[in-house]
A and B are shown apart, each in its own frame.
Chain A
Amino acid sequence: VRFRLWIVTVLLAGCCGAAACGESHDVRAAELRDAAGSWAATLRLVTEEWTRGALPSHFVQSTTSVATTELQSAARLVRFTVGDAASAPADEVLARVPLLNEAVARGDRAAAMEIVRALASAVPPKPTPPVARPR
């Protein structure tokens, strides 16, 4: 009886642990997806503001630099804990950052807008409506 109890306990603990790890993996992947969407939206807005002359080009480049640093470290963690596939949204953003930097350095506003529009549709952000009681 003691042996069976021991096995049941180990199995229960294993199930709980697996469930917790599984949930944690899902949560981590979802967090990275949200972060990538947020940075894609940021790059779109910063480029729009640069295009209309509201922000200087050095500001766009420092924003892309922060986005790269943040997403690289988040993607590394998710790749290590969840798997390579889970870091796809971040990789999508990271792949387009050099192209955006080049377009901004050239002063090519149309190309820059094209890149960030494509990025925003590839990695859609999760909007929060400006309300007090979201549904």
Chain B
Amino acid sequence: MKNFVKIGLGVVTSIGGFLDVGAIATTALAGAAFGFQLLWVVLLGTGCVILLTEMCGRLAAVSHHSLADAIRERLGFPYFSIPFVGEFLVDLLVLAAEIGGVAVALHLVTGVSYLWFVPLCALAVWAFLWLGTFTIIERGVSIAGLITLCFVVAACWMHPPWAEVARGAIPSLPSRDGVRYWFLAVSILGALISPYLLNFYATGAIEDKWTIKDIRVNRVIATAGMSFGSVIALAILVLAAVVLGPRGIQVDSYEQTVFILTQPFGRWGLYLFAASLGIACFGAALQVSLNLAYVTAQGFGWNWSENLKPHEDARFAAVYTAAVLVGAALLFVGDPLKLTTVSMALNAVIAPFIVFPLLVIMNDRAYLRDHRNHAIGNVLVAGVVLIAFAVAVVAIPLEVLGG
């Protein structure tokens, strides 16, 4: 019974972790521009993220090391500094995009410019981090995030051509706008295989005191949680393809994405969209801020835990405080939607520097003992590493040409 509760909460949390401003924006952009054609990329990204999070959870349960911790210890600080700097900078952009998502949600409902809400949202994120515990942050916001299931209800409500939706699961080459097609594919992969999610998942397992006994629970949570999250992302893509694409609406601002819920739900659609965007982004902003503090503290060997009082891990608290400030400040320079697409493409650039060491660590007996990767697991992860490298190489040129 205890395990069922753990799995249930874990799945809900994983859904919250999966869906953020990047997943919402990139899938809406893809659906509006290419119909169901990019649906396979969401499925590919989901498969990759299930594999990676399962391994991160196993690493934490067996060795009680987070990913950042293990990379620094196994490969040394000089190697660790490469993904650390990359992840730190990209996470700041992602944090700005997430805070921007919350501010935009408030703007959609009130009509007041989102910039007025940015300081308020940043303060709310910081207050949650300062006053809350890991459990409150992990479960409270994630349970509220279940409101995003309204996208799934709306997708069914709109009666999309299911046969075409199913055909979208088969990879295909673009019939037009090749650069934009591949740019969106890379951005979706960057949004789903977020490096912050991997370290946050492993660190969360340590905060929740997982042990070897939790390996099966981890497997179920990683698979079911990410799959459910993926269903919501797929629903957004389907809604954008059914509502926006046929009318010739391309997504250039968040105002245009609201229609995917106002069409099926009328006036409630606006409030449901704003609530979904706001809660998903608020949860993700908390996770990204915490991850920035976790990675820094784990990299430099400082005290860290969201369950400690701020004065017990002052440097940890100082990092997330500074990160929230910088993230909010970035919004006064860039537009939230553009910031989102850029940061998602950059996520794809740094992913291989984090995924490749994971493959090395997952085969190290010193960390995983008898729970190392099997041959099939290694082949699959090697495939993910190859995808990550290919995506990283093309991400910047695609960003310049098609972003």
Q: Which residues of A contact B (CB under 8 A)?
A: 34-35, 37-39, 41-42, 44-46, 49, 52-56, 58-59, 61-63, 66, 70, 124-135
* Across-interface contacts of B241 in A (CB, < 8 A): 128, 130
- Contact partner, B33, options A58, A70, A128, Cβ 8 Å: A128
Write the chain B residue with the least CB distance to A57.
Answer: B111
Please tell me if B145 contacts chain A, counting CB pairs below 8 Å.
Answer: no
Provide 28 A-B residue pairs closer than 8 Å at the C-beta atoms, listed in order of the A residue. A34-B250, A35-B250, A35-B252, A38-B249, A45-B247, A45-B259, A52-B266, A54-B262, A61-B111, A62-B111, A66-B253, A66-B255, A70-B253, A124-B248, A125-B248, A125-B249, A126-B248, A128-B32, A128-B241, A128-B245, A128-B248, A130-B36, A130-B246, A132-B165, A132-B168, A132-B170, A133-B167, A134-B35
Inter-chain contact count A-B, CB under 8 Å? 111
* Across-interface contacts of B256 in A (CB, < 8 A): 42, 63
- Contact partner, B245, options A45, A52, A130, A133, Cβ 8 Å: A130
* Across-interface contacts of B36 in A (CB, < 8 A): 130-132
Encoded as 1 (CB less than 8 Å from any A CB) or 0, chain B from 140 to 174 comes to 00000000000000000000110011011010100
- Contact partner, A54, options B110, B176, B270, Cβ 8 Å: B270
Q: Check B269 against A59 for contact (C-beta < 8 Å).
A: no
Q: How far is the CA of A55 from the CA of B109 in the complex (A)?
A: 10
* Across-interface contacts of B2 in A (CB, < 8 A): none
Q: Check B107 against A42 for contact (C-beta < 8 Å).
A: no
Q: How far is the CA of A119 from the CA of B256 in the complex (A)?
A: 17
Q: How far is the CA of A35 from the CA of B265 in the complex (A)?
A: 27
Q: Check B252 against A49 for contact (C-beta < 8 Å).
A: no
Q: Check B250 against A38 for contact (C-beta < 8 Å).
A: yes
The smallest beta-carbon distance between B303 and chain A, in angstroms, is 45
* Across-interface contacts of A34 in B (CB, < 8 A): 250
Q: Known pairs A41-B247, A42-B255, A134-B34. 14 more at Cβ < 8 A?
A: A55-B267, A58-B110, A59-B258, A66-B255, A70-B252, A70-B253, A125-B247, A127-B246, A127-B248, A131-B36, A132-B164, A132-B172, A133-B37, A134-B35
Please tell me if B191 contacts chain A, counting CB pairs below 8 Å.
Answer: no
Q: How far is the CA of A67 from the CA of B172 in the complex (A)?
A: 33
- Contact partner, B35, options A39, A54, A126, A132, Cβ 8 Å: A132
Please tell me if B39 contacts chain A, counting CB pairs below 8 Å.
Answer: yes
- Contact partner, A132, options B39, B252, B253, Cβ 8 Å: B39
Please tell me if B175 contacts chain A, counting CB pairs below 8 Å.
Answer: yes
The smallest beta-carbon distance between A65 and chain B, in angstroms, is 9
A53-B266, A125-B247, A131-B164 as given contacts; A62 in contact with B35, CB under 8 Å = no
A130-B35, A131-B164, A133-B37 as given contacts; A54 in contact with B249, CB under 8 Å = no
